[in-house]
Structure 1
Amino acid sequence: MSHAGRFAHFVAIDWSGAVGARQPGIAVALATPGTGAPRLVRPGHIWSRADILAWLRQDLPSDTLVGLDLGPSLPFVDEGAFFPGWDESPADARSLWALVDAICADAPHLAATSFVDHAQVARHLRRHGGRKGEHFTGRGRLRVTEHAQRAQGLNPYSNLNLVGAAQVGKSSFTGMRVLHRLASALPVWPFDPLPSAGSAIVEIYTSLAAIAAGRAKGRTKLRTHAELDAALAALGSEPLGGAGAIADHASDALLTAAWLRTAAADPMLWAPPALTPPIARTEGWTFGVR
């Protein structure tokens, strides 16, 4: 099934799981069909996670494909559970989102510290201060889609690892709170089937967009306007313009919005061979991973 022309807008959100009310690391970019340069949404605004939730609920343009740069789930397939050995381990991703939000109900700013500090959860995590749960081994468990990322030459980190500059666990858990609170307002592929009309959310990995634009693996961050414009050109997009440095959160979002505009029309990306119904319910999939 072709999805060319299916969406009228393409949004990429570079996410942050950092502590605090507002996150300089969050950036939102929007592209429209054609070749026009993507643009930042609310440039200069320092977003909060609650801002993003409200924007997705109330201000999202119609027929938008939204890419969220976070891990919306945890490994399940390898052990048959998110948290093996825990009787209350959720059976699917939506139940996991609900559990994270319930345990963190009193945490401000959609933070997830209460969840990662939960005694049963912590047994499976690598946390700061040399704290490593007895069920965390090696570099941490990976989802099936993350094994596929590795096969494509990427370097995914386990969502159960909360340590290091490249860790994604904190982003993932805070993002799960947002996804739970969106409820049925927006379908989230592949946990939900892609509807024939309207908006939808997918998981993105911004390095995929950079590699598609010709950047070398391991050199996917764009830190100048010139680098960004060269990458946009490789995706068939007009330049953003400007000169000098640009924050990589902004460039990640801008380039990925332009990439979504081209990638959304590829039917193969909506039907990766390894994506089975059980994986779709539990682990999900990163859009763009084959």
Structure 2
Amino acid sequence: MAIAPDRFSHFAAIDWSGAVGARQPGIAVAICTHGAEAPTLVAAEGGWSRAAALDWLASAMPPDTLVGLDLGPSLPFVDRGAFFPGWSDSPADARGLWRLVEAICADDPHLGASSFVDHDAIAPHLRRHGGRKGVFFEGRGRLRVTEEAQGLQGLNPTSALNLVGAAQVGKSSLTGMRVLHRLAGRLPVWPFDPLPASGSAIVEIYTTIAARAAGIRKGLSKMRDAESLDRALAALGSAPHRPLARYDDHATDAILTAAWLRTTAHRADFWAPPALTPYIAQTEGWTFGVS
């Protein structure tokens, strides 16, 4: 799958958050264009919220932007042939899952997903706070095929069915699904949608992949100062960044990953990984950059 170097005009990365509340300090948005200029942070009045991020994606993001969302757009399916084995209402594909999350969480404010987590038929498959481990949750939790592939690349993926601990990604994934559902028909999400010949597109990102590509060793992927960020950016061919008012994992991850997307968006192998079948594309999706 050949991708022209000028297929996209901008490259953006969004560090996501599943935290409860009207605003999410854990959301950070960075964007860059072609060339060597470092990505810059995009500000939102009053701070980012999931609704504000949705609005930016739908109407304010520049045309022809490749945007990476740091969240899991689906749940494990392939290993058991279902998201929630044994439940008659378990969706048949990822878009059905997005619709289900939206329907169950329709009354949850701020695009939250608490109602989904506590649903009687779904909770038994999850590991929740307070020692509430569902009867169907085993070991570290089920993984998607792309997450198994991440492990083979030396990464440390976490099951989206695990909602406990600092490394958990389940809440981000579920709240992100509400956003993806609302973007249906307006913004394609690869690989659930094919990459169109023009226009913007969303991909799933894992910021640690960008950190590894920038030469940051395992266990040291977090950058919390200007010097660390500039060293990583330089490894990706980027100029130094504009100084930030505050350095945290969210901002630096978004900046570095936007720069990484700029260097990798044209790579045909990233758009056609050998293990990505049509079945996986429609049920579990795939992380951009995992081969």
TM-score bucket (shorter structure): over 0.9
Partner of 1:109: 110
Partner of 2:283: 282
Partner of 1:150: 151
Deviations 1:229-259 (A, max 9, x none): 0000000000004389611100000000000
Rounded Cα–Cα distance in structure 1 between residues aligned with 2:2 and 2:123? 43
Partner of 1:18: 19
Partner of 2:63: 62
1:51 equivalent in alignment to 2:52: yes
Deviations 1:115-142 (A, max 9, x none): 0000111010000000011110000000
Contact conserved, 1:149 with 1:156, CA < 8 A, in 2? yes
The one-letter amino acid of 2:81's match is G
1:285 to 1:243, Cα distance in 2 relative to 1, 3 A: closer
Rounded Cα–Cα distance in structure 1 between residues aligned with 2:275 and 2:186? 28
Rounded Cα–Cα distance in structure 2 between residues aligned with 1:243 and 1:51? 21
Q: RMSD over aligned Cα, in angstroms?
A: 1.2
Partner of 1:239: 240
The one-letter amino acid of 1:2's match is A
Segment drifting more, 187-196 vs 35-44: 35-44
Contact conserved, 1:225 with 1:241, CA < 8 A, in 2? no
TM-score (norm 2): 0.98
Residue 11 of structure 1 aligns to a residue whose secondary structure is: strand
Partner of 2:219: 218
1:279 to 1:62, Cα distance in 2 relative to 1, 3 A: same
Structure 1 residue 17: Cα displacement: 0.1
1:167 equivalent in alignment to 2:168: yes
Contact conserved, 1:226 with 1:243, CA < 8 A, in 2? no
TM-score (norm 1): 0.98
Structure 1 residue 281: Cα displacement: 0.2
Rounded Cα–Cα distance in structure 2 between residues aligned with 1:111 and 1:148? 29
1:35 to 1:98, Cα distance in 2 relative to 1, 3 A: same
Deviations 1:145-192 (A, max 9, x none): 000000000000000000000000000000000000111100000000
1:244 to 1:16, Cα distance in 2 relative to 1, 3 A: closer
Contact conserved, 2:44 with 2:52, CA < 8 A, in 1? no
Rounded Cα–Cα distance in structure 2 between residues aligned with 1:245 and 1:172? 26
Rounded Cα–Cα distance in structure 2 between residues aligned with 1:36 and 1:2? 25
Contact conserved, 1:226 with 1:244, CA < 8 A, in 2? no
Rounded Cα–Cα distance in structure 1 between residues aligned with 2:171 and 2:94? 17
| Unaligned 5+ runs, structure 2 | none
After TM superposition, list the pairs within 5 Å mapping 1:249-268 onto structure 2: 249-268=250-269
Contact conserved, 1:75 with 1:82, CA < 8 A, in 2? yes
Rounded Cα–Cα distance in structure 2 between residues aligned with 1:43 and 1:180? 22
1:265 to 1:277, Cα distance in 2 relative to 1, 3 A: same
The one-letter amino acid of 1:215's match is I
1:96 equivalent in alignment to 2:120: no
Partner of 2:2: 2
Residue 119 of structure 1 aligns to a residue whose secondary structure is: coil
Contact conserved, 1:37 with 1:237, CA < 8 A, in 2? yes
| Unaligned 5+ runs, structure 1 | none
1:268 to 1:45, Cα distance in 2 relative to 1, 3 A: farther
Rounded Cα–Cα distance in structure 2 between residues aligned with 1:232 and 1:2? 26
